[in-house]
Structure formats: structure tokens, C-alpha cells
Amino acid sequence: MFTKHVLAALAAIALPVMARPEPELWRRAMSLASAGVSTCGLSDEAPHVKAPKVNPWSPITQADVKAVWSFIHAPERGLNLTNPANATLTDNYVFWIDTLHTNKSSVLTYIDGTAEAPPKYARVVIFEGGKTEPVSQEYMVGPLPVSDKTTIAKYDYVFNGGSGGTVPYNARYLDGKRTAGYEPLLKSLMTEVADITKALFNGTYYGSSDNRTDIVEASTGPNSLDGTTSWVTSMFRYPGQASYMVPLDFYVLLDITGTDTSKYSLRGFVTNTRFFPTAADLRVAFEAGELKNEFPQTRDNAWAVLDHKPEMGVRDLEDRLAPQSLEVGGKRYKLDREQRYVEFMGWSFYMSFTRVLGLQFYDIKFKGERILYELSLQEAAAQYAGNQPKAANTVYQDTFFSIGTYSATLVEGFDCPYGATMLDISFPTGSGTTETHPAAICVFEADSGYPLARHRTGARGNPNGFSHLASVKGSALHVRTVATVGNYDYLFDYAFHVDGSMEIEVRASGYLQSSPYYADQGEFGPRVYTSTQGSYHDHVINFKADFDLITSANSLQRTDLVVVNQTQPWFPELGTFSQMSLKAANLEKEAQFNWAPNGQSMFTVINPTSTNKWGTPRGYRLVPGKSPIHLSIADSPFSLRQSHFLKSDLAVTRQHDNEPYANSWHNINLPSKPQQDFAKFFDGESVDGEDLVVWFNLGMHHYTRSEDVPVTLFSEAVSSIVFAPQNFNDRAPEGDLRNRRVIVSDAKTGAISYEDYGIPLPSCKVAVEEPASKILPWVIA
Ligand SMILES: *[C@@H]1O[C@H](CO)[C@@H](O)[C@H](O)[C@H]1NC(C)=O
Ligand SMILES: *[C@@H]1O[C@H](CO)[C@@H](O)[C@H](O)[C@H]1NC(C)=O
Ligand SMILES: *[C@@H]1O[C@H](CO)[C@@H](O)[C@H](O)[C@H]1NC(C)=O
Ligand SMILES: *[C@@H]1O[C@H](CO)[C@@H](O)[C@H](O)[C@H]1NC(C)=O
Ligand SMILES: *[C@@H]1O[C@H](CO)[C@@H](O)[C@H](O)[C@H]1NC(C)=O
Ligand SMILES: *[C@@H]1O[C@H](CO)[C@@H](O)[C@H](O)[C@H]1NC(C)=O
Ligand SMILES: [Cu+2]
């Protein structure tokens, strides 16, 4: 039967914004609905589902954070803490509080059985500058809620570097107290050479709060190699909205070892790629006329601001609204907001959130069978290159900055489709309170942009035949967040496809950490503006995928595509000839390895004791997606032993409660004496038929370009991986989907039948109002 459909009148109606208590309810639909117009259910709240269990991975509550704060500050704890608001370098004070990672061994019996949920713990970082040997120390506080059973203990067991949760002062985070510690020295040095910087750059720095200062200082990391000494590399820029794009060729290097700021000293100045150990040396060169500012930087930032530039012209029809992905059939996923639990087309999962790692997923199941126990970001690293101190010195590992705290408000209709479910994030601060960012995570189902499957069987040459045409809708549920860490915006997208595959994608936008332009340094990146060079850098983003396919005992099967010589008796004239063949073997021991060149190996996590109907072990294949890279440099002094996890595409280890993280957040400042040494995970343990963890890297070799101005484009700075079922099912899990069309035509009679499986196009109005983001309390984090 050929059914005719009325295409919905898709009208984008922008209405004035009203204050609404729940930001995601952008529902003018309400008034249309009351006027009897069907509104596609676009703006509806996702149907509620009750999570099977109270989420055991959830962040600790606001009340717990407060109680932990009081608990650790109580005199009987003996921690001798000063309130951070009043603390100095030589006091003990809390840096931050976070949720402690939950031991897998204690949670499985809860989610799979009848055991109690394991108790929650807080993770507390205390800067102990007041100790004889000043350190940063991590603690665990629990069980929570705080009671007389609650204790505080050093949090050592997740760090394998030999010093547990203790980090030497010189490797400690460069917080406001430390920057205030070196500011007087920087100020006096820059004041001493103010006439020189004025002459060279028309800029002077008399300290960050002096009203004569008209350039800004920016330092970089790491600040130490092993925690015995500490330095800071400062560069200067013109201030403004796009300050990252207007760097100046002037650097000051300071030694900031220890807590006694009177001992801080100048290592030297750098400009014109020359090093001057003292201000006097710099002055000699300046007065001899040897210093030039060949490519004067622009104080004007406007060219690098991400806004509409009418002077670039007009494109025909660009005054029309661009296509939108809308859930026109209504939301097809269910949500338990409180428990952060989602069900979608056979998928189910829980979410969590921490300061250090951001968004995490737990207990990811497809059709009731566990695929992953945990999926979480481990690190977002970047390493730069250049023949000047800032770019050469720069390695970022963004867990250092608590990357989770930089996820903030998403723009509906642009960052996420209109009508997406918006979730807030909350995390403990360093002062016993909880910070909340509205609409920092969005959940939505979107069209894949291609059919999941299709086939046409033609009737050509058979006048009595039928032609059969089938096409199946492709869609996926996405969970997305964007973390803006300084210059960069990292978009993390987790997609749950209806075919049982999962895709993890990272994109980067935001400002380059650019360098001043040097005519003779093209090997470090192109000139992208009058006096700005796009500094070459690598982004490497590490993830943990703790697969538990059906059970925890899994193997990693490597199938090599090898060419073999064969003889086959029916081709006697060929003699020996070459053939492709598959050679499979399970990885025996923990290992780090790369994707094979030309994709000639397949890596599949399998359950070796569970087979599909055809006798093949059930598995999920790791499919490299866009830009499957790892760190390009193996032995940089700035990314040495603390960065092993960035140096291979993949790694497989045995799961242990004391190895929950690839990296430690303080590790960036310990390249040659790591607090956490990923290499030590590889101690010869078997991973064949064991509880294994796959660690993988996404990333980009960021070959900077003029199109990185004003900001890097998400379209090109993208990397991804897919986990796809590989003999996991007996056939493709699509036959149960009714979102498909089948058209059969009879070649003889010309009769056509069109089947829509009871899912016709809706006839409703799409009522779209300017979204909630417009009225949200924007988070400027
Ligand atoms: C900081 O110190 C001042 C002066 O001693 C005191 O009045 C104030 O209460 C302190 N603030 C905190 C948060 O402890
Ligand atoms: C407590 O810390 C302060 C610095 O904040 C220090 O001066 C004092 O000696 C410490 N007291 C003890 C008992 O350690
Ligand atoms: C020098 O910098 C100041 C801002 O501090 C600016 O007002 C002035 O226009 C600049 N002069 C030149 C010649 O660019
Ligand atoms: C700058 O600060 C000085 C000293 O604090 C003050 O006397 C002067 O009025 C300020 N100038 C401007 C332009 O604000
Ligand atoms: C196949 O035979 C060719 C020709 O004898 C030889 O060069 C090649 O190395 C052989 N390849 C393999 C995989 O054995
Ligand atoms: C987690 O497991 C480790 C290693 O077995 C153990 O030392 C630690 O006490 C456990 N943590 C909690 C919170 O139970
Ligand atoms: Cu980049």
C-alpha cells in the first residue's frame, strides 16, 4: 500500500524570552498545544525511568562537601589548616575536594547482586606549606556522610611513583599563592627594563594590578622536572578578548624554588631568540641597537574575535536558518535525572562527574548485557614546539587544572540541537562549597546523517520479478560536554548508536596558543597574522575503557591481516601465489601498542568463554576513527616518564583497584620523577581471560594554519574511535527497528507497495523558541 504523508510544516518561530525556572523547557509548544495544535513533542521532558540502583558512582553531595570541610578543619584532626582566603605559601590549606574513585571490587556485588552500596569517600588535596618539608598531600575522607566512623587517611594507593599522594612543594600546582609569590620579582625586573619593553613593544609591565601596566603576563607548564627545583616561563601579550593571538617576543624566566620568595631569582630574559642572563646584558644589546621588533604586534584584538565579520561579504541564501536536527517524533530516551541514568534503544548507562576527570560513564549495557564497566577521560594533553622558551616549555595535562570544572553552559541549537536535555554539573570547590554550572551536559538523539543500512534488489532482466528496496534509519543518542580550558574548547561527544556501536569523539576549537612570528622559524608553524605564528603542537586525549563484555573475564584478540603463499590444485598454472588471510591470537600480557599500518590488524575485546550462535567468541572491536594518533615525541624532557600513557595508540592492562587512573593530576610537574608512572602498569600480568582495561588515545597533530584564525575549527580538529560489535550478536541488531521503509514493486504489473511499519511522518508544528541558554546564568569559568 502506498501511503501518502503530509510533511510537517516546519516553522522556526523566535519569540521573546521569558524567565523560566527550568532552563530546558523552552516550550512555546505549551500554548500551541492548548490551542489544539500538535507540536511533535519536541520540547517535552524525556520520559522518566527509575534507575535500577541508586547510582554508586555519583558525585558526593553538597552536604557531604560541607561536612568534610568542617571535619578536616576541626582542631582534633591536627591538620593545622588556615582558611585558603587568608593562607600564604607557608600555611597548610585545602586546595580542593573531589569525589574519590569507587573501587570496582566493592561495587560489582552491589550493582549485580544484593550487597549494600559501597560507602562514598571524599578526596581532599591539602597544600602543606607549613610543614618542615613543604608538600602537597592527598587524603581520603570517609565513609560519608560524616559520622563517628569517618576517618581521614593519606590517599596513597592509586599513586605508584613511590611517594604516594605526596608531591614535593616544587612540583605543586601554581595556584594564586605561588603566582603572588613570584610577582614582586617579576614586577621589579620588568620595571627595570620598562623603557626597553616600551621601546620595543609599546608595552610595560609594572605588576598585574598597577594601572600603568598595559601588557599581560602568561606563564606555562611544566614548572619542574622532578620536584627538586621549580621555574616559571613567562611570556607577555597585549591584553584583550583575543590575547592568546597577540603574543609579544619577550620572555622572562625565573627560578621559583622553595617557599622562601626572597630567594627567587632571574634565570634570564629572552627576546629576538637571544638569551640574556641579566637585565644589564639585555640593556647592552638594546643600547647597541641589536634588538628589533621586526613584526610589530597589533594591540587591536578585533580581527581575532569570534564574531560576525560583515566585511568578509555575504553568501547567497545565508540569511536563512541552517538545517536543524530535531527530535520530531518526540524523545526516544528515558532519564532518571537524579541518578544520572539513561535508557535508549537497548542501551543503558549511569553517569558521574568529577573535578579532575569531568564526565564519566559506568555500567554501559546493551540489551541487558554489560559492555563497559567504566568509560572515562583520563587526560587531555598538549605539547608545543618552538625555538623560544614558552612554546618549547609547554606541555599541558589539563587534569592539572581540574578539566571538569571548565565544562560550562552549552548553546542550544548550536553546541547541541534545539530541544536537547540539558544537565547541570556540580563539583566541590576549594572552600567547602559546591559550584554548579547550568546546562553543561546535553543529551539528545540525532540523525546519523546516513541510513544505518539499505539495499535494493533489482528486477532488471526479469520481467516477472520484484524489485525490493529497503532503508533503515540511522540515529544515535549523544551525550556531550565542552570544557574550555584557557585558550581551548574541547568538545567531548559520546554517541550510542542504534546498531549497538559506540563512538567517542573529541573536537578542539578555541584560540591557538600562538607565538610571535619569526621569519626564519617556519619549521614550527606558519605565520597566521602580521606578527603571529601558529605554534605547532600535538593534542593527545587519553581515555580508559574498562570493558566487561558480559562478564569481567575478557581477552584482547589481535587479528593480523597477513599475506601467505599458497598453492591450490585447481590453479596449477599459478604455482605458489599470494593470498590474504587472518591470523588471530589473544594478547597474553599487558602491553602498549599502536594501530597497525594500513589498518592491517583488528583489535577486538572478546569474552573467550561466550560464543554467539555460530560458535565465535562474542566481542567488540576497537575501530580507529578520525586522527588515530599518539604523542609524536618520545623523549622530550618535559613529557618524559610522566607521559608514557600518551605515547602509544592503545594499551591493555589488568584492572586493579589501585590503578584507576592513567595519570595523576600533579604529574605534569614531575616528568623525570613521576608520581604516577603508567609504564609500571606493565608488570607482566596476564590479560588473557582476565578483567582487562583498554586505554586509548585520541588526538590531533595540530598542523596550525591561517584558518585557525580567529579560532580552530571543530570540523578539522577532530579525533574518534568506535566500539563496534564483532560477532557479539547472531546478526545485526537492526531487524527489530521499525524506523525503516520497504518499497516493493512488481515488474510485471507495476504495482508498488510502500511499508512504513506504522511509523509515518508526524503532522505537527515545530515550535522553536530562542533557547534557554539565552537566559541562563552564564558561567565565566
Ligand atoms: C582572615 O583574616 C582576617 C584577619 O585576621 C579575619 O578577620 C578573617 O576572618 C579571616 N578570614 C577567614 C576566612 O578566615
Ligand atoms: C601551624 O601552621 C602555621 C603556619 O600556618 C605554623 O606557623 C605553625 O607552626 C603550625 N603549628 C604547628 C603546631 O605545626
Ligand atoms: C601604545 O600603547 C597605548 C596603550 O598602552 C596605546 O594607547 C597607544 O596607541 C600605543 N601607541 C602606538 C604608537 O601604538
Ligand atoms: C594610578 O594609580 C595611582 C597610584 O595608585 C594613582 O595615583 C593614579 O591616579 C592612578 N591613575 C589612573 C589613571 O587611574
Ligand atoms: C611468497 O613467495 C614469494 C616468491 O617466492 C616470496 O618473495 C615471498 O616472500 C613469499 N611470501 C610469504 C609471506 O611467504
Ligand atoms: C580500594 O582498594 C584499595 C586497594 O585494594 C584499598 O587499599 C582501598 O582502601 C580501597 N578504598 C576504599 C575506599 O575502600
Ligand atoms: Cu591545537
Q: Which three cell numbers stand for residue 74?
A: 576541626
What amino acid positions are annotated as catalytic residues?
398, 488
State how beta strands 358-366 and 718-726 pair.
unpaired
CA 526–ligand 7 middle distance (angstroms): 13
Angstrom distances, CA of residue 637 to CA of 396, 642, 648: 14, 10, 18
Q: Which three cell numbers stand for residue 237?
A: 601579550
Residue nearest to atom 3 of ligand 1 (CA): 86
Q: Measure the CA–CA gap between 420 and 412, rounded to whole angstroms.
A: 7
Question: What amino acid is encoded at 121 in this protein?
Answer: Y
Q: So what's the pLDDT on residue 16?
A: 29
* Percent of the chain's residues with pLDDT above 90: 87
pLDDT, tens digit, for every residue of 240-258?
Answer: 999 999 999 999 999 999 9
pLDDT at 460 over 80: no
Q: Name the DSSP letter for residue 439.
A: E
Q: How confident is the model at residue 770 (pLDDT cuts 50, 70, 90)?
A: low
**Average pLDDT over all residues of the chain:** 92
Ligand 6 atom at minimum distance from 119 CA: 13
Q: Measure the CA–CA gap between 200 and 181, rounded to whole angstroms.
A: 28
- DSSP β-bridge partners for residue 468: 457, 744
| Nearest listed ligand to the Cα of residue 385 | 7
Residue nearest to atom 1 of ligand 1 (CA): 86
Q: Strand, coil or helix: what is 346?
A: coil
Ligand 3 atom at minimum distance from 214 CA: 5
Residue among 620, 411, 599 at smallest CA distance from 497: 620
Q: Which three cell numbers stand for residue 576?
A: 605458489
pLDDT at 675 over 80: yes
Q: So what's the pLDDT on residue 764?
A: 74
Q: Which three cell numbers stand for residue 299?
A: 594591540
Comma-separated ranges of CATH 2.70.98.20 domains in the chain: 340-451+475-555+587-726
Instruction: Give the residue-averaged pLDDT of 127-148.
Output: 97
Helix (H) or strand (E) holding 479: strand 475-485
pLDDT, tens digit, for every residue of 377-418?
Answer: 999 999 999 999 999 999 999 999 999 999 999 998 899 998
CA 202–ligand 3 middle distance (angstroms): 6
Classify residue 345 as left (phi > 0), alpha (psi -120 to 50) or beta: left
Question: Do residues 620 and 725 lie in contact, with contact meaning Cβ atoms separated by under 8 Å?
Answer: yes
Q: Which three cell numbers stand for residue 85?
A: 582566603
- DSSP β-bridge partners for residue 395: 383
CA 87–ligand 1 middle distance (angstroms): 10
- Does ligand 5 come within 6 angstroms of the Cβ of 563? yes
The two most distant CA atoms of the chain are separated, in Å, by 97
Question: Do residues 175 and 95 lie in contact, with contact meaning Cβ atoms separated by under 8 Å?
Answer: yes
Which residue is listed with cell 540569511? 319
Q: Which CATH superfamily is domain 340-451+475-555+587-726 in?
A: Copper amine oxidase, catalytic domain (2.70.98.20)
State how beta strands 358-366 and 347-354 pair.
antiparallel
Q: Which three cell numbers stand for residue 390?
A: 614558552
Instruction: Give the residue-averaged pLDDT of 29-46.
Output: 64
Q: So what's the pLDDT on residue 418?
A: 87
Query: What residues are in contact with ligand 3 under a 6 Å CB criterion?
Result: 202, 214
Q: Measure the CA–CA gap between 478 and 573, rounded to whole angstroms.
A: 55
Question: Do residues 428 and 65 lie in contact, with contact meaning Cβ atoms separated by under 8 Å?
Answer: yes
Determine the Cα angle at 27 with ends 25 and 30, to 5°.
130
Residue nearest to atom 1 of ligand 3 (CA): 202
Residue of higher predicted confidence among 768 and 581: 581
Q: So what's the pLDDT on residue 773?
A: 53
Which residue is listed with cell 592527598? 138
Q: How far is CA 234 from the centre of its chain?
A: 27
Nearest-Å Rg of the Cα atoms of the chain is 29
Q: Measure the CA–CA gap between 708 and 224, rounded to whole angstroms.
A: 31
CA 579–ligand 4 middle distance (angstroms): 82
| Nearest listed ligand to the Cα of residue 104 | 6
Determine the Cα angle at 737 with ends 732 and 739, to 5°.
130
Q: How confident is the model at residue 35 (pLDDT cuts 50, 70, 90)?
A: low
Tell me which of 80, 89, 133, 169 to substitute to probe ligand 2's pocket, judged by most ligand atoms within 8 Å of the beta carbon.
80
pLDDT at 495 over 80: yes
400 contact partners, CB below 8 Å, separation of at least 6: 173, 221, 665, 666, 667, 668, 669
CATH class of 62-133: alpha beta
| Nearest listed ligand to the Cα of residue 297 | 3
Q: Measure the CA–CA gap between 248 and 298, rounded to whole angstroms.
A: 10
Helix (H) or strand (E) holding 327: none
CA 559–ligand 5 middle distance (angstroms): 20
Ligand 3 atom at minimum distance from 202 CA: 1
Strand order in the sheet with 466-472: 453-457, 466-472, 740-746, 752-755
Q: Which three cell numbers stand for residue 705?
A: 594554519
| Nearest listed ligand to the Cα of residue 209 | 4
Comma-separated ranges of CATH 3.10.450.40 domains in the chain: 62-133, 176-310
Handedness of CA 162, 163, 167, 170 (dihedral sign): negative
Q: Which three cell numbers stand for residue 292?
A: 628589533
Question: Do residues 519 and 294 lie in contact, with contact meaning Cβ atoms separated by under 8 Å?
Answer: yes
Residue nearest to atom 6 of ligand 2 (CA): 130
pLDDT at 522 over 70: yes
Q: Cβ atoms within 10 A of the Cβ of 58, count?
A: 20
CA 754–ligand 1 middle distance (angstroms): 76
- Does ligand 6 come within 6 angstroms of the Cβ of 273? no
234 contact partners, CB below 8 Å, separation of at least 6: 186, 217, 218, 219, 251, 252, 253, 254
- Does ligand 6 come within 6 angstroms of the Cβ of 143? no
Residue of higher predicted confidence among 63 and 747: 63
Q: Measure the CA–CA gap between 610 and 547, rounded to whole angstroms.
A: 15
Question: What amino acid is encoded at 373 in this protein?
Answer: Y
Virtual torsion, Cα 173, 177, 182, 186, nearest 10 deg: 110
Ligand 1 atom at minimum distance from 84 CA: 13
- Does ligand 1 come within 6 angstroms of the Cβ of 83? yes
- Does ligand 6 come within 6 angstroms of the Cβ of 658? yes
Instruction: Give the residue-averaged pLDDT of 624-651.
Output: 98
Q: How far is CA 233 from the centre of its chain?
A: 26
540 contact partners, CB below 8 Å, separation of at least 6: 379, 381, 382, 383, 629, 630, 631, 646, 697, 698, 699
Q: How confident is the model at residue 749 (pLDDT cuts 50, 70, 90)?
A: confident
Q: Which three cell numbers stand for residue 322?
A: 541552517
Q: Measure the CA–CA gap between 426 and 99, rounded to whole angstroms.
A: 11
Q: Which three cell numbers stand for residue 64?
A: 557531604
Q: How far is CA 330 from the centre of its chain?
A: 29
Which CATH number is 176-310 given? 3.10.450.40
pLDDT, tens digit, for every residue of 176-220?
Answer: 999 999 999 999 999 999 999 999 999 999 999 999 999 999 999
Q: Measure the CA–CA gap between 139 and 128, rounded to whole angstroms.
A: 12
Q: Cβ atoms within 10 A of the Cβ of 416, count?
A: 27
Strand positions, DSSP E, 312-394: 333-336, 341-344, 347-354, 358-366, 369-384
- Does ligand 6 come within 6 angstroms of the Cβ of 121? yes
- Does ligand 1 come within 6 angstroms of the Cβ of 86? yes
Q: Which three cell numbers stand for residue 222?
A: 611544566
CA 735–ligand 1 middle distance (angstroms): 67
Q: Measure the CA–CA gap between 450 and 502, rounded to whole angstroms.
A: 16
- Using N-to-C axis directions, what is the helix angle for 279-287 and 194-201, rounded to 10°? 40
